[in-house]
Amino acid sequence: MKAHLTRRYMFSASHRLHSDQMSADENLATYGKCNNPYGHGHNYAVEITVSGQVDESTGMVCNLVDLDGFIHQHVLERYDHRNLNLLHEFTEDVPTTENLCIAIYKIVQRGFHKAHLEKVRIEETMMNSFEYAGE
Amino acid sequence: MVYLTRKAEFSASHYYHNPDFTPEENVRIFGKCNNPHGHGHNYTLEVTVKGAVDPKSGFVVDLKQLKEVMNREVLDAMDHRFLNKEVPEFANRIPTTENIAIAIWHRLAPKLKTAQLHRVRVYETPDLFVDFYGEA
Per-block mean pLDDT, blocks of 10 residues, chain B (136 long): 97 98 97 96 98 93 95 98 98 97 98 92 98 98
Domains of chain A by start residue, with CATH: 2-132 (3.30.479.10)
Task: State residue B114's pLDDT score.
Answer: 82
Q: Is B126 on the interface with A (CB under 8 A)?
A: yes
The DSSP line for A61-126 is SS-HHHHHHHHIIIIIHHHTTEEGGGSGGGTTS---HHHHHHHHHHHHHHH--SSEEEEEEEEEET
Residue B98 among the catalytic residues? no
**Contact assignment for A1 to B136 by CB distance below 8 Å:** yes
Minimal Cα–Cα distance from B111 to chain A, Å? Answer: 21
> Could you give phi then psi for residue B110, rounded to 5 degrees?
-75, -10
Contact A117, A105 (CB under 8 A): yes
Task: State residue B53's pLDDT score.
Answer: 94
What is the interface pTM, i.e. ipTM, of the complex?
A: 0.93
Neighbours of A95 (CB within 10 A): 24
Q: Is A119 on the interface with B (CB under 8 A)?
A: no
Check whether domain B2-132 has CATH 3.30.479.10, yes or no: yes
**Contact assignment for B133 to A4 by CB distance below 8 Å:** yes
Task: State residue B113's pLDDT score.
Answer: 83
Task: Report the C-alpha gap between B136 and B119 in whole angstroms.
Answer: 14
Q: Using CB atoms, which residue from A8, A59, A65 is nearest to B96? A: A59
pLDDT digits 0-9 by tens, A60-95: 999 999 999 999 999 999 999 999 999 999 999 999
Nearest CA in chain A to B95: A59
For residue A32, pLDDT over 90 is answered with: yes
Output b/e per residue, B96-115; b: 16+ Cβ within 10 A.
bbbbbbbbbbebbeeebeeb
Minimal Cα–Cα distance from B44 to chain A, Å? Answer: 14
Task: Report the C-alpha gap between B47 and B109 in whole angstroms.
Answer: 11
Contacts of B30 in chain A (CB under 8 A): 58
The domains of chain B are located at 2-132
Q: Is A33 helix (H, G, I), strand (E, B) or coil?
A: helix
Task: Report the C-alpha gap between B48 and B2 in whole angstroms.
Answer: 10
**Catalytic residue from among A81, A92, A113, A131:** A81
Vertex B127: Cα angle to B61 and B132 (nearest 5)? 40
Task: Report the C-alpha gap between A48 and B127 in whole angstroms.
Answer: 10
Task: State residue A114's pLDDT score.
Answer: 98
Task: Report the C-alpha gap between A34 and A32 in whole angstroms.
Answer: 5
DSSP character for A39?
-
Average the pLDDT over A90-117 and give the result. 97
Mean pLDDT score across all residues of chain A = 97
Nearest to B48 by CA among B9, B79, B2: B2
Query: H-helix or E-strand containing B104?
Result: helix B97-108
Nearest CA in chain A to B131: A4
**Catalytic residue from among A15, A18, A123, A124:** A124
Q: Is B84 on the interface with A (CB under 8 A)?
A: no
pTM equals 0.94
Residue A81 among the catalytic residues? yes
Nearest to B83 by CA among B99, B66, B105: B99
Task: State residue A34's pLDDT score.
Answer: 96
